Amino acid sequence: MSDAAATMAQGRQRLELSALSAPAVIFTVAMIAFPVVYTIWLGFQSFSNTGKQSFAGLANYSKLISDNEFWHGLWVTIALYVLSLVLQLVFGIWLALILFHAKRLPGIVRSLFISPFMMPPVVAGMMWLVILDPSLGAANYILQSLGLPPSEWLASPTWVIPTVALIDSWQWTPYVALIVLGGLQSLPSSVYEAAQIDGASAFKTFQRITLPLLLPTIVTAAILRSVDLLRFFDIIYITTQGGPGNASNTLNIYGFRVGFEFFNIGYASALMLTLTAIVLGAVLAFNRLRGAVAW
């Protein structure tokens, strides 16, 4: 093949690859460009609290800096994020390995194992609210039957974040497991055969071979969970609405309440954009990591 022909073929290939991702890119831009621009504009508006609009410059953003509730919300968001992500990744990998080795498990049972995240988060929130009710719930009933002290769960300012993280992990660990399982299944079997011949122990095989090969999948799962966890909403919206006090008032809950319960659309827009920037930062960081661990 001549050089010119090779360049032409490469150009054609590049064009084809762009054409493949074009629909997704165009669609996304069409759907999110206007909302983002509109929200940025709203963020510069003051709605006083009468709903009357006026240009406010950076007033909403300077309010944000001096707003204790914002900084508290940021702290709650991060605490909940780190706790939930760690729980879900650790148990997700564990569950994926269990399911991977349980090959004879009937399909229907297997799909029951991954069922929690199929439940609408709203419904899961309602369900756990009933189960964890300190006076009426089954959870304390079981604890007391076992002779253990009851807990206030969602009603305790100390325990509300761990409890919410547990609920979320119950729901989303199987999701992480499913993604990791997909990664496990696509691992080339040759590496295992080589390891078996070498006589490596199961744990060593996992640590030395499986885990590194799985890293891209795990990072993907972490990215997908991060975008949801940093915008933590549904379960808190249903169970505590940010309480007790403001102990579970995440940024997303706070922004939502400012906009749709207190009707201050301008300040809510500033809050939501700030949160979006935080999520974007986290995703970009993870993406660098993804590049580093790809194989």
Partner 1 sequence: MMDAPTTDRWIRCLNLLQLVLAGIIIMTPTVWMVLSSFKPSFEVTAYPPTLIFSPTMENYLQLTRTTPFVSYAVNSLIVTIGSTALGLLFGVPAAFAVSWTRISWPAILTLAARMAPGTLFLLPWYVMFRQVGMIGSYTALILSHAVITLPIVIWVLLPSFDSIPRSVFEAAQVDGCSVTRILWRIALPLVASGVAVAAILAFVFSWNYFLFALVLSNGDTKTLIAAAFNFIGEGSTQWGALMAAATLIALPPLILAALVQRWLVSGLTLGAVKG
Partner 2 sequence: MNARMFAVRVALPVLAVAAISVEAHAADFDWKKFQGKTVTFLANNNPVAQALLTYKDDFEKLTGMTLKVDGYQEQQMRQRLVTVMNAHSDEVDVFMTLPSREGEQFSAAGWYADLTAMARNDVAKEYDPAGLSQALLKAATFGGKLTSMPMNIEGPIFYYRTDIFKKCGIEKPATIKDVEAAAAKIKACDSSVTPFVSRGLKPAIAYTFSNVLHNIGGSYIANGKSNLCSAKGKEALDTYSRLLRDFGPPGVVNYSFQQISALYRSGRAAMSFESSNELRTAMEGGARLKDTALMPFPAGEAGQVPTVIGWGLTVSSHSKQPDAAWYFVQWATSPAVQKKMALQGIAPPRPSVANDPEYRKWIDEEPVRKEWQAALDVLATKGSSEVGYPIVANPESREFIGQAVQDMILKQKSVDQACADADKALDALIAQK
Residue 116 near partner 2 by CB under 8 A: no
Q: Which residue has the tokens 């659309």?
A: 265
Nearer to partner 1, 59 or 126 (CB): 126
Per rule CB under 8 A, count of chain residues that contact partner 2: 31
Residue 259 near partner 1 by CB under 8 A: yes
User: Alpha-carbon distance 290 to 295, whole Å?
Assistant: 10
Which pair of tokens denotes residue 262? 């207190």
Among 116, 162, 216, 243, binds partner 2 (CB under 8 A): 243
Q: How many residues does the chain have?
A: 295
Residue 194 near partner 1 by CB under 8 A: no
Q: Which does 211 bind (CB under 5 to 8 A by kind): partner 1, partner 2, none?
A: none
User: Alpha-carbon distance 9 to 18, whole Å?
Assistant: 14
Nearest of 244, 235, 118 to residue 252 by alpha carbon:
235
Among 82, 119, 148, 194, binds partner 1 (CB under 8 A): 119
| Closest distance to partner 1 from the beta carbon of 126 (Å) | 6
Residue 150 near partner 2 by CB under 8 A: yes
Nearer to partner 1, 216 or 244 (CB): 216
Q: Which does 86 bind (CB under 5 to 8 A by kind): partner 2, partner 1, none?
A: none
| Closest distance to partner 2 from the beta carbon of 276 (Å) | 19
Per CB under 8 A, which of residues 45..74 are in contact with partner 1? Answer: none
| Closest distance to partner 1 from the beta carbon of 190 (Å) | 9
Beta strands 54-55 and 45-46 are: antiparallel
User: Alpha-carbon distance 123 to 134, whole Å?
Assistant: 19
User: Alpha-carbon distance 30 to 292, whole Å?
Assistant: 31
User: Alpha-carbon distance 8 to 188, whole Å?
Assistant: 34
Cis before 244? omega within 30: yes
Question: For 147, how many CA atoms within 13 A lie in the half-sphere containing its CB?
Answer: 0
| Closest distance to partner 1 from the beta carbon of 53 (Å) | 13
Which residue(s) pair with 54 in the sheet? 46
In which element (H, E) is residue 55 found? Answer: strand 54-55
Among 59, 126, 143, 289, binds partner 1 (CB under 8 A): 126
Residue 71 near partner 2 by CB under 8 A: no
Q: Which does 101 bind (CB under 5 to 8 A by kind): partner 2, partner 1, none?
A: partner 1
In the complex, the residues that contact partner 2 under the rule CB under 8 A are 48-52, 129, 133-136, 150, 152-157, 239-246, 259-263, 265
